[in-house]
Every structure is written in C-alpha cells, then in structure tokens.
Amino acid sequence: MNVSDAFGRYQSHVDADPASVTEGRRRGNLFKSAFEGLDDVQEVFISGSLARKTHKKPINDVDVVIVFNRDAHLDWGQPGTSAGDALQYTGAKVNELLGATNGAHDQLVRLARPGNHAVKCFVDDPEDPDRFTVDAMPAFRTETGLLIPEKTSTDWVPADPEYLIGQVAARSADWAKYLGTVRMLKTWGASRPGIEIKSLVMEVLALQFLPHDGTTQPIAIKEFFVRAANYIEEGYEVTDPAGICGPVQSSLDYDKFAECLREAATRAGVACSRQAVSDDAAAIRLWGEVFGDGFPPPTNAPGKPGIIPPVVPEKPRPVKDTPQG
C-alpha cells in the first residue's frame, strides 16, 4: 500500500455513510417543503456543513434557514422582544407543520425548543446522546445577506452563511479532493486530546490555508498545517470568513491549538520527506501519528519494516498580540 492508497482508505473512514447523508438531507428538505407552502415565507434553504458537503461523521444535525417575508412581519427586525417572538413563532409553526403527534405536513419533530438564533428541533428523544436535530433559523433577506434574531441581546444581527457555501463550492470546483480533505482536517480537530476545536474553526482555516491548485493530498495537508500553525502562533484569531460575526470560537485555547498545529506540521513534513524517497511505510506511519488510529497502518514487505527517523520539533514561533481589524 502506498501513501495515496492509505489516504484513500482514511477518506472512507472519515466520510459519513451515504445513507445517513441522504437521510439528513431528506429531513432538511421536509422543513423546506413544509415552510415553503406558507404565505409569509419567501424561501427556505439548507445551510451548514451539509450544504457545503464538508460534513464529517456522524451526521447528527442539519441547519435550515427560513427566510420570511418582511411585509408579513412588520414588528420583527427591531430591538426588543421581536427576536424572541420570531423564534417562538417559528417553533409553533414547526409543531403545527411537522409535530410528531399532529403535524399537517409530516410527523417528524418530537420537540421544538427556541434557542438564541434558531429553533432546535429534536427528531429523536432529546435525552438520546446520539439524537438528530434540525436547527431552524428564521431570517429576513437584506442587500448584504441575512438578518437573524439574537435572543440573548434582544436584537437582530447580520449573518451571511451563503458566503461560506459559495467559497467552499469554488474551492471544490478547483480541486476535486478539497471537500474530502476538509473532512479529514475537521476529524483531526475533533480528535485532539485536551482541547475542544469546533469543526467550523478547521473549515475556516482550510478556506484560508489549504491549497486547492490540484497538488497531491499529502502535500496540501502538510502545507495547510504549516500555514495554519504560523498564523495561529502569530496571534491571529479564526473569524467569520464573511467578516460579519467576529470570532468563530471565543473559548478556543489558542496556545494549545498552536501546539497541536505545529506538531502536526512537523510530522507531516517528515512524512512528505519519507514519501519523496519512496519510503511509503515510514510515511504512512507518520501520517498515522498525525491523524490517529483511523489512519491505516502500512503493509510492509516481510522483514522490511519502514524506519521512521526521529521527529525534531521546530523551535516554537513567538506568540504576539495582533490587533483585529
């Protein structure tokens, strides 16, 4: 097995089962067909990683944006109680249209619970740790994107989820392996011990630093880790790519994150060096150290184990405060 074969097997490991992807889309489309029939709804679209095709397994949720007609809700979009009112209205409509007991369109949702920006709709038992949910977010269309409710601030705030959808689609058009590689990076982030790294953090960094010019997957991933490590070590935060919503994860431990990225960059660099001299077994073992147990081990010829040279960490880059613009 060569390095390319190993990455192919790892891709199968990180990708969600096609049946679960189909079922997630079916559930999102049920919301779409249910709400598009209402007179006060302008459009409905699936958002989030399922729309971008960057979802990693397991698929436990789908995001749906319900764009209401502003003329039908003149009291919404203003500071005060209208943010909560819009969420309550949306939750009531979910129950009316899709409630498990008497839904007029389908009997999908057991519980609709208004949150900060969206209504969390539980398809399964809310106490089930593997439950599936649909986040239904009410919105208005504006010239620059969307206006969405924010209950905690009792106001409406701008958002543009379609920007990232479009940017990811463009990257995928440039490089066929882009989407699958993003799924690998998101799986890497989710498996780092001692730190919580949101999937969107990895996806936004991939948008910035993952090459999409048709290079090989191992080289692209190595370049990503090097560039991302440099960026985080220099004190930058990961922010909304549309430039609207600020930091993607305010709680992220950036010092620990920088360490994780630098370690991955160092090992990925040595892996690429071993592959360059046709030592695929050593390269595959090193990539296994980067990604973890899901990456397949090498298949060596009898009596010829791959030899991995010691990995010497690079000198840490200084971390400095960087003003955010």
Strand 111-114, strand 61-68: pairing: unpaired
- Residue 278 one-letter amino acid: S
Tokens 């990811």 belong to which residue?
A: 168
106-164 pLDDT, tens digit per residue, is: 999 999 999 999 999 999 999 999 899 999 999 999 998 999 999 999 999 999 999 99
User: Does position 286 have pLDDT exceeding 60, yes or no?
Assistant: yes
Note every long-range contact of 168-175, with CB atoms under 8 Å and residues 24 or more positions apart, other chains counting.
168/52, 168/53, 168/54, 168/203, 168/207, 169/52, 171/207, 171/210, 171/212, 172/53, 174/212, 174/213, 174/214, 175/211, 175/212, 175/213, 175/214, 175/220
Mean pLDDT score across all residues of the chain: 92
> Residue 137: its pLDDT value, please?
98
Q: Please tell me the CATH code under which domain 16-159 is placed.
A: 3.30.460.90
What digits encode the pLDDT tens for the residues 62-78? Answer: 999 999 999 999 999 99
Inform me whether the pLDDT recorded for 311 exceeds 70.
no
Q: What is the pLDDT of residue 317?
A: 43
CB atoms within 10 A of CB 71: 8
Residue 303, pLDDT > 70, answer no
Please indicate whether residue 305 or residue 168 has the higher confidence score (pLDDT): 168
What's the confidence (pLDDT) of residue 175?
A: 96
Are 200 and 54 in contact, with CB atoms under 8 Å apart?
Answer: no
248-285 per-position pLDDT tens digit = 999 999 999 999 999 999 999 999 999 999 999 999 99
Q: For the chain, what are the domain ranges?
A: 16-159, 175-291
Give pLDDT tens digits for 205-234: 999 999 999 889 999 999 999 999 999 999
Output the pLDDT for position 319.
39
Predicted pLDDT of residue 255: 98
pLDDT given for residue 180 in this prediction = 97
Task: Give the pLDDT score at 39.
Answer: 97
What is the average pLDDT across 16-39? 96
Alpha-carbon torsion angle 216, 219, 222, 227, nearest 10:
-100
